């Protein structure tokens, strides 16, 4: 019965996926409402219960291919950050396209992806021994490769003790974090970096693999040129930092790897010289920030929130998606992507424009331009201003549906149980669980 729920495409995907059997069983069990989806029955988006997190399969695949093509053409490995989608199916699509493994933020995420068979970089400074014990135990049980990140002497000591007392049987791969100007985590290049690398190198239980950074300050840029400037400065800084570390430790450090990355910087970077790996995350879905910066167009957004207008008054259309669905995020790092809580268009307009299809590239841009901004949120309600409508805007109607491009798609995905996956016709072809949702420990 469950097999009938899968589209031919995702069935092929599932067969190709060497996931642990228990995980696949769990994922299938979580395909709620899936019983309605048979090969002969398609479910149109207008029949899906709202609010729903909708994924356009073709756009998702195109985004995965585009980023992989950037990595391949520039001669760097792609290790996508899965904090965006938290989905084993999407990670498998990334790996099938050429990704070398995944990047995770939190141990909870790492455990899901190690168990799923993914070579995992835990890119977060872990200073609690119990957290590392859990992750290392999963790496041993799953035989998936684990690499941790450190940015302090305390972090080095914790990682070394956890690795030493474990049954790992080999030194634990370790990256040292560089502060590339965001001032969140990492040490500045120079003496503090070379000292920290020496500390890792001196621990027999750890194996220094490389240095990494994340130029999250790119979220504060105003355009693509600004992102390119930040990205190229990051490349130069990391090239210099790697040279310092190599010369401080001798020729055997020639294999030191340099890892960088975010969606905005990878879509804008000119200079990849000296880099080995990029770690963008958001590119699979896109959202208000890459749109604001002109790094992506409306047709590149694969994740939208489907909501229903449940009430109208002379001021606002009220939808059934509030902060518990859209999050209160104004855009990564607090940058105000849309001057509200997302930008939306009406599903009915999309269907009229495209004769029942999912919307062409130009349709999407046009639909968004004459759409509406979600003005404010309460927990279960979104407020769409219906005053001061422009010449091309109409009033919404009770009962009709809107598709919202969120300010920031990553927290939206984390708040959801599942993705409703739509094919090129705009009909639902599958449902995928958000496997590591809520995994913040």
* Binding stretches for ligand PLP (CB under 6 A): 81, 84, 103, 123, 214, 216, 261-263, 279-282
CA within 13 Å, CB half, 386? 17
Give whichever of 280 and 439 is closer to ligand PLP, judged by the CB atom: 280
Give whichever of 87 and 282 is closer to ligand PLP, judged by the CB atom: 282
- Find the angle CA(262)-CA(157)-CA(79) to the nearest 5 degrees: 20
Minimum distance from residue 403 beta carbon to ligand PLP (Å)? 22
Taking the C-alpha atoms of residue 269 and residue 82, their distance in angstroms, rounded to an integer, is 21
Under a CB-based contact definition with an 8 Å cutoff, are residues 367 and 347 in contact?
no
Minimum distance from residue 228 beta carbon to ligand PLP (Å)? 15
Give whichever of 48 and 175 is closer to ligand PLP, judged by the CB atom: 175
Minimum distance from residue 226 beta carbon to ligand PLP (Å)? 15
Give whichever of 214 and 381 is closer to ligand PLP, judged by the CB atom: 214
Minimum distance from residue 288 beta carbon to ligand PLP (Å)? 13
Give whichever of 216 and 371 is closer to ligand PLP, judged by the CB atom: 216
Rounded to a whole number of angstroms, the CA Rg of the chain reads 23
Minimum distance from residue 107 beta carbon to ligand PLP (Å)? 15
Give whichever of 290 and 382 is closer to ligand PLP, judged by the CB atom: 290
Minimum distance from residue 265 beta carbon to ligand PLP (Å)? 8
Taking the C-alpha atoms of residue 324 and residue 310, their distance in angstroms, rounded to an integer, is 16
CA within 13 Å, CB half, 404? 33
Minimum distance from residue 8 beta carbon to ligand PLP (Å)? 31
Give whichever of 316 and 338 is closer to ligand PLP, judged by the CB atom: 338
Minimum distance from residue 335 beta carbon to ligand PLP (Å)? 12
Give whichever of 216 and 322 is closer to ligand PLP, judged by the CB atom: 216
Minimum distance from residue 374 beta carbon to ligand PLP (Å)? 22
Buried b (16+ CB within 10 A) or exposed e, 95-127: bebebbbbbbbbbbbbbbbbbbbbbbbbbbbbe
Taking the C-alpha atoms of residue 89 and residue 400, their distance in angstroms, rounded to an integer, is 31
Give whichever of 278 and 298 is closer to ligand PLP, judged by the CB atom: 278
Give whichever of 221 and 325 is closer to ligand PLP, judged by the CB atom: 221
Taking the C-alpha atoms of residue 368 and residue 392, their distance in angstroms, rounded to an integer, is 11
Nearest 5°: phi and psi at 368?
A: -65, -40
Give whichever of 281 and 359 is closer to ligand PLP, judged by the CB atom: 281
Taking the C-alpha atoms of residue 424 and residue 301, their distance in angstroms, rounded to an integer, is 14
Minimum distance from residue 274 beta carbon to ligand PLP (Å)? 18
């Amino acid at each position: 019965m469950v097999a009938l729920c899968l589209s031919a495409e995702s069935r092929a995907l599932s067969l190709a996926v060497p996931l642990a059997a228990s995980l696949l069983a769990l994922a299938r069990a979580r395909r709620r409402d899936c019983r309605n989806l048979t090969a002969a029955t398609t479910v149109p988006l207008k029949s899906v219960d709202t609010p729903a997190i909708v994924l356009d399969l073709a756009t998702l695949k195109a985004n995965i291919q585009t980023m992989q093509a950037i990595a391949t053409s520039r001669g760097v490995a792609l290790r996508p950050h899965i904090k965006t989608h938290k989905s084993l199916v999407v990670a498998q699509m990334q790996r099938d396209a050429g990704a070398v493994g995944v990047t995770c933020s939190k141990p909870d995420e790492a455990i899901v992806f190690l168990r799923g068979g993914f070579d995992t970089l835990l890119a977060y400074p872990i200073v609690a021994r119990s957290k590392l014990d859990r992750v290392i135990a999963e790496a041993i049980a799953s035989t998936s490769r684990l690499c941790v990140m450190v940015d302090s002497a305390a972090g080095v000591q914790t990682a070394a003790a956890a690795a030493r007392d474990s049954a790992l049987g080999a030194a634990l791969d370790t990256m040292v974090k560089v502060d590339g100007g965001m001032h969140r985590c990492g040490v500045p290049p120079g003496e503090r970096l070379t000292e920290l690398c020496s500390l890792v190198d001196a621990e027999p239980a750890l194996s220094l693999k490389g240095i990494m950074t994340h130029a999250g300050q790119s979220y504060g840029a105003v355009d693509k040129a600004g992102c390119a400037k930040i990205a190229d400065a990051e490349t130069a800084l990391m090239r210099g930092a790697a040279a310092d570390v190599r010369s401080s430790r001798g020729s055997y450090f020639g294999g030191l790897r340099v890892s960088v990355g975010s969606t905005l910087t990878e879509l804008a970077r000119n200079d990849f010289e000296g880099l080995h790996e990029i770690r963008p995350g958001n590119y699979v879905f896109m959202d208000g920030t890459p749109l604001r910066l002109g790094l992506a167009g409306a047709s590149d957004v694969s994740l939208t929130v489907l909501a229903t207008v449940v009430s109208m008054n002379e001021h606002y259309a009220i939808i059934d998606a509030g902060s518990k669905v859209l999050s209160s995020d104004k855009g990564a790092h607090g940058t105000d992507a849309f001057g509200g809580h997302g930008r939306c268009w009406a599903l009915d307009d999309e269907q009229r424009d495209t004769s029942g299809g999912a919307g062409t590239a130009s349709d999407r841009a046009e639909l968004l331009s004459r759409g509406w901004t979600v003005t404010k949120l309460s927990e279960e309600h979104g407020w769409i201003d219906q005053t001061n409508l422009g010449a091309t805007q109409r009033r919404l109607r009770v009962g009709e549906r809107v598709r919202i491009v969120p300010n920031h798609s990553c927290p939206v995905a984390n708040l959801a149980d599942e993705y409703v996956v739509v094919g090129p016709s705009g009909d639902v072809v599958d449902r995928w669980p958000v496997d590591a949702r809520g995994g913040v420990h």
